[in-house]
Amino acid sequence: MPRIVKVAAAQIGAVHRDSSRDSTISRMIDLLNTAVSKGAQLIVFPECAFTTFFPRYLFSDPAEMESYFEDDAGGNSIADSKNVKPLFDKAREAGVDIWVGYGERTSSGQHFNTAVYFCGKTGEVISKYRKVHVPGFVNPPFPGAEVHLEKRYFETGDLGFEAFRAPGLIPNALKANTGEEDTDGKGDAIIGSLICNDRRWPESWRPYGLQGAELVLVGFNTNGKADDIYKPRQPISLEDAREQALFHHRLSMQYNSYANSCFSISAGRCGMDDGKFDLIGGSSIVDSDGHIIAEAKTVDDEVVFAEIDLEECRKGKKDIFNFAVNRQPQTYGIITAQKGYVEPKLLF
């Protein structure tokens, strides 16, 4: 039986340090309306979507740093936060699901790089994910260095990689307590969330693969400028740096979708923030065989849309990546036992 879902990535172009939440949210609502006019049931927005990508700044004023976060005590509170409520209200009104990333400040004062899945039909946040692989520095490596300071602003996500089912995307999805014995691949869509740097790590995808994920949603802010942390071996042009960054973005999305037999949607912030911080586009929809089926053509606000059939995931899940038949977890212990790499002893 086909399991058709109409999905969209809502890519957002430049957002500056002094851009107001209201102006960004009004652009996001325009993107939502465009996606809805194409028939989208699910719209994915980027990481830290409501503001500029603030972890690039070293703030002298702590109040400015705090101003980029949303208070979130859990449950539905982000959808009811007055800063960002108009977007969630629009999704509720249109009856569409949205996935969106933001800086979360918890009631106990912790800060996370977070994303929520909001179900438009029920008007509820049904899943929350906190970024696990937080990249960059706590402190700039030298005074004045313009680098990625995510480790300064965010704690490591503490919610794990918990897949969830999104109600209402698939018509006639099998529900619990119907007495059906074979429920495999017949229920509501199984979804996982990742945030930016997470997508580069196979360890982030496999837990979702092991929960039968059919769709992994990713928001990102990826620098085009390649010399952010590691100096390039030789100076390269902005175009070449962007192309390299896009190559690794595509590689991560395509390989991990293939290896976990799931579709993926990635939505990026992009363009030149403050006229000088370059972020790549390349928001995409990738099928469960690893092919890009739709991709952004601009580095500006853009909706990337596709109709996908989650039934296609069965092919990989039952064949080349049939985990139950082919995985050998008794041999994988080093992956969880060890953090950094340890080289074999030197030869005599």
Catalytic positions, written as ranges: 47, 131, 196
Residues in the chain, overall count: 348
Which of 258/277 has CB closer to ligand CDT? 277
Write b or e for each residue in 213-242: b if 16 or more Cβ atoms lie within 10 A of its Cβ, otherwise e: bbbbbbbbbbbbbbebeeeeeeeeeeeebb
Query: In angstroms, what is the minimal distance from the CB of 249 to ligand CDT?
Result: 7
Which of 3/148 has CB closer to ligand CDT? 148
Query: Alpha-carbon dihedral of residues 217, 284, 201, 240, nearest 10 degrees?
Result: -150
DSSP secondary structure string for all residues of 304-318: EEEEEEGGGHHHHHH
Query: In angstroms, what is the minimal distance from the CB of 230 to ligand CDT?
Result: 8
Does residue 193 sit in helix, strand or coil? strand
Which of 141/275 has CB closer to ligand CDT? 141
CA distances from 318 to 160, 184, 324, 332 (A): 26, 11, 9, 22
Tell me phi and psi for residue 158, to 5 degrees. -120, 20
Query: In angstroms, what is the minimal distance from the CB of 111 to ligand CDT?
Result: 15
Query: In angstroms, what is the minimal distance from the CB of 199 to ligand CDT?
Result: 7
User: Which spans of this chain sit near ligand CDT (rule: CB under 6 A)?
Assistant: 47, 135-136, 148, 196-197, 200, 220-223, 228-229
Which of 136/212 has CB closer to ligand CDT? 136
How many CB atoms neighbour CB 175 within 10 A?
Answer: 13
Which of 127/223 has CB closer to ligand CDT? 223
The residues that bridge with 44 in the sheet, in sequence order, are 9, 99
Query: In angstroms, what is the minimal distance from the CB of 200 to ligand CDT?
Result: 6
- 159/200 Cα distance (integer angstroms): 19
